Structures are given as C-alpha cells and as structure tokens.
C-alpha cells in the first residue's frame, strides 16, 4: 500500500500550505472557539494506515458513555456502545501537523492562497513578509476548511452544486476548573444537559478542566445581556453547574466572546479537472453534533487511498471515482449531524428514548450482524455512512413493529 493519506501525509515531494499567519503548533488554544475533537473508529483506521494511531490515541481521553443531567440534578449514563467501544476526545492542538515527524513533507505556514489555475495547477500565495510565491502542483488537495479558499474556484464553474446552511443556534464555551486538582465531574463521559430548544454539553480536557458548551438559538442569546441574567438563566436550567463553574467566572466568561455560528456545507463534485480535489471540511463541513467531522475527513483520505490503489494512481480516473463514491457518504453524515442536533437536545432525556436505546441494544445482542444501532454503525464501524442511514431506516421499521407489539403485550 502507498504511504500517504492525510493532509500531512503526502508523497515525499509534497508541500502543505496553511493560511494561518503563524505556525499552529506554536499557537495557543483560542479560548471560547475550541470544540474538542472526537476520534473514533474511522479516524483511527486512517491514522493506523500511516502508523500514527498509537501516538495519537495515547494523547486522547477515552469516553464510553453519555451522562444526562436532568433539571433536578440526577445523572443517568447512556453507554455509546458495547464494552470497549470508546470515542477518544482530542485537544485541537494534539492532532494536526505531526507530519514532519513522520515524513519529509514540508509544511509552509503563513501562506495565504490568492489564486490557482484550473488548467495548469499553478498556485499563487501571499507570504507573511508580503511577498508573492508561485508554485506548480501536480495535484492540489483542498483541505482548507469550511470556508475553503480552494473551493472558490469551483464556484466559478458551471454545474457545481453548493450549499452553506447556518443553523439558528450559536455556541458559547465556558470552562469548569478542577477541584483539588481533580476533575469537577466524572471524566470519561460526555455530559449533556438537554433542554429541548437548547442544551449544554461538557467535555473533559487533559488539564482536568471541562469545556462546557452552551448551544442555543441566537435570539435566545440576545435575551441574556447582564451578569445577573446569566446567573438567573443558569439557576433555572443548569443549577448543578453554577458551583462547579463558579458564579463570578460564569458572569465574566459568558460575555468573553459573542456566540459563534455553525455552518453545514455540502457540495458536489469534489474534483475539478484532474488538478484538484476537496477533502475534509472544505468538501463537507458538518455541525458538531455527531462527533464525526474529523473522522469523516480522515476517512476521505482512506477512501481516496483505496481508489488510488484500484485505479493505479491515474488522477484523471481517480478524481471522478472519488466524487462518485464519497459524495453520498459525506452528504449522509452531514444530514445525520443535523438530525442529532435535534435528537441530542430534545429526545435524549425522555424515557421513550431510553426505551428505544434498550430495544436497539437488545436486538443487537440477539442479532449482532443484522441489527446494529445507528450510533454504533456510524462511530464504531466503517459501514458507509449512506448505507448506515439506509439500514437504520429499515431497522427502524423492525423496531417500530417490535416496540409496538411489546407494548400491546403489556411489556
């Protein structure tokens, strides 16, 4: 098999350019705009293929359950899958840019893309010193995020389908400090406070803090404008968190940054002639509610690599095939993330939801190959995303039948 697949892991002669006007490895975490990264099966398979799985995994915090916080303060765990099926929580700075350690790939920071030619593959960059730099690429891999500069060129072509959809919710991050040097709540859990139209989640960090993220419609954010209103709001909906975050910190940090927007991006095709291909968020930014953003991006690389092997690295055949194979799967995970955005904040706390999970898991135990819970298919297998959705719809019918006949039998 070929050596390279991720953005950092290109053929030996490759160069990686980033627009950030600094080396991200030396940068500090931007407080309030982190959103931790979840690494699960698909992402790990990609890292494994380039020999980086163990190193990366050792820096993650394993999570095996959700922990639901109800209004009265009771906490109920809901496991993600079977024993041993964990999602790893990564810090944003741990994952990227270990490439130079693993290959001779050259990283260029502080290079802003000004333009590139669809015919020749020539790229023009603006450097931090103000000078322009031209380079010639055999293949341009656009991994430059939700607001991709590479993708702008695609928008100028006919028959390029594109959508960007902002959800009505924004997010705001708060920090829950350690207590006596230990985590303030149980670590190894995704803590969730579902409150129907909005929700808060908390995720553990290596420094024993939790990052609490409040997701709420922008117009509801606008109703909370003073420190006292923040406390009143938390008293009403998240009373158990006030002593843990601290009332003073809460009043202060709530206003540190305005609520941040979240966008879902879909497009097709992913390639432009035989010169350029989009991957990761540049091809399919998803809302963060399924923890699959990074995994889908890493799996893009795995799929691309598989097609490169099948088609003898002939770009003119590989690129259209990559579009054909990958677009339906990325669109499916974008839709699932949007679906979970509703599910997480509304259904997750209901008895009905817990009962459905119970039925799912029981069916899975009885027929492990036939019935696999959706979350398990998405997070702990490499079943293609769009096939997972299809199987889920089919299973839903089966489950519906079983649940209802159970109810009639007075289960």
Judged by the rule CB under 8 A, the positions of this chain that interact with a second copy are 158-166, 218, 261
Q: What minimum distance in Å lies between the beta carbon of 61 and a second copy?
A: 31
Judged by beta carbon, residue 165 or residue 362, the one nearer a second copy is 165
> For the chain, what is the radius of gyration of the CA atoms?
22
Distance CA 84, CA 383 (A): 19
Q: Provide, rounded to whole angstroms, the least separation between the CB of residue 268 and a second copy.
A: 9
**Distance of closest approach, residue 69 Cβ to a second copy, in angstroms:** 29
Bridge partners of 76, per DSSP, are 68
Select 159 or 397, whichever has its Cβ closest to a second copy: 159
**Which residue's CB is nearer to a second copy, number 163 or number 229?**
163
Q: What's the distance, Cα to Cα, between the start and end of the chain in Å?
A: 53
| Phi, psi at 301, each rounded to 5° | -65, -45
Q: CB 155 → a second copy: shortest distance, Å?
A: 8
Measured from the CB atom, is 168 or 368 closer to a second copy?
168
Q: What distance in Å separates the CA atoms of residue 236 and residue 29, rounded to the nearest whole number? A: 31
Greatest Cα-to-Cα distance within the chain, rounded to the nearest angstrom: 76
Beta partners for residue 179, in sequence order: 182
154 versus 234: smaller Cβ distance to a second copy = 154
Question: In the complex, what is the shortest distance from the CB of residue 223 to a second copy, in angstroms, rounded to a whole number?
Answer: 18
Of the pair 164, 316, the CB lying nearest a second copy is at 164
CA distance 266 to 282: 9
How far apart are alpha carbons 183 and 212 in whole angstroms? 13
CA dist., res. 362 & res. 370, Å (int)? 12
Structure tokens at 148: 């991709």
* Pairwise CA distance, residues 116 & 134, whole Å: 9
Q: Are 238 and 202 in contact (CB under 8 A)?
A: no
C-alpha–C-alpha distance, residues 302 and 323, integer Å: 14
Shortest approach of a second copy to residue 145 CB, angstroms? 14
CA–CA separation, 252 and 89 (whole Å): 27
Kindly state the smallest distance separating residue 336's Cβ from a second copy, in Å: 19
Complex with a second copy: residue 147 or 355, whichever CB lies closer: 147
């Amino acid at each position: 098999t070929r050596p390279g697949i991720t953005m950092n892991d290109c053929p030996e002669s490759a160069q990686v350019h980033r627009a950030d006007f600094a080396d991200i490895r030396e940068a500090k975490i931007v407080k309030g705009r982190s959103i931790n990264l979840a690494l699960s099966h698909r992402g790990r398979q990609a890292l494994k293929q380039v020999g980086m799985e163990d190193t990366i995994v050792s820096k993650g915090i394993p999570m095996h359950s959700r922990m639901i916080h109800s209004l009265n303060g009771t906490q109920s765990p809901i496991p993600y899958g079977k024993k041993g099926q964990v999602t790893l929580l990564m810090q944003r700075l741990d994952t990227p840019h270990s490439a130079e350690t693993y290959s001779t790939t050259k990283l260029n920071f502080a290079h802003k893309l000004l333009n590139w030619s669809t015919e020749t593959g020539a790229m023009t960059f603006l450097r931090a010193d103000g000078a322009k730099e031209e380079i010639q690429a055999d293949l341009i891999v656009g991994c430059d995020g939700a607001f991709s500069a590479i993708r702008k060129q695609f928008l100028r072509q006919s028959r390029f389908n594109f959508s960007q959809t902002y959800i009505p919710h924004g997010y705001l991050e708060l920090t829950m400090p350690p207590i006596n040097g230990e985590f303030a709540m149980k670590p190894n859990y995704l803590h969730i406070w579902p409150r129907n139209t909005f929700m808060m989640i908390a995720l553990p960090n290596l420094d024993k803090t939790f990052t609490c993220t409040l997701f709420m419609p922008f117009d509801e954010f606008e109703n909370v404008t003073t420190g006292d209103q923040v406390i009143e709001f938390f008293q009403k909906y998240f009373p158990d968190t006030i002593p843990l975050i601290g009332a003073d910190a809460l009043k202060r940090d709530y206003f540190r940054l305005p609520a941040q927007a979240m966008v879902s991006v879909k497009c097709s095709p992913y390639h432009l002639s035989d010169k350029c291909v989009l991957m990761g968020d540049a091809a399919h930014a998803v809302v963060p509610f399924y923890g699959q953003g990074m995994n889908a991006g890493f799996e893009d690389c795995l799929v691309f690599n598989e097609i490169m092997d099948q088609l003898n690295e002939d770009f003119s055949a590989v690129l259209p095939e990559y579009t054909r194979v990958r677009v339906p799967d990325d669109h499916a995970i974008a839709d699932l993330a949007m679906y979970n955005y509703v599910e997480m904040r509304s259904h997750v706390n209901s008895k009905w939801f817990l009962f459905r999970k119970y039925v799912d898991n029981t069916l899975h135990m009885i027929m492990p190959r036939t019935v696999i819970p959706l979350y398990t298919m998405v997070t702990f297998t490499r079943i293609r995303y769009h096939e997972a959705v299809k199987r889920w719809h089919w299973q839903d019918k089966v489950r519906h039948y079983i649940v209802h006949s159970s109810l009639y039998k007075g289960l």
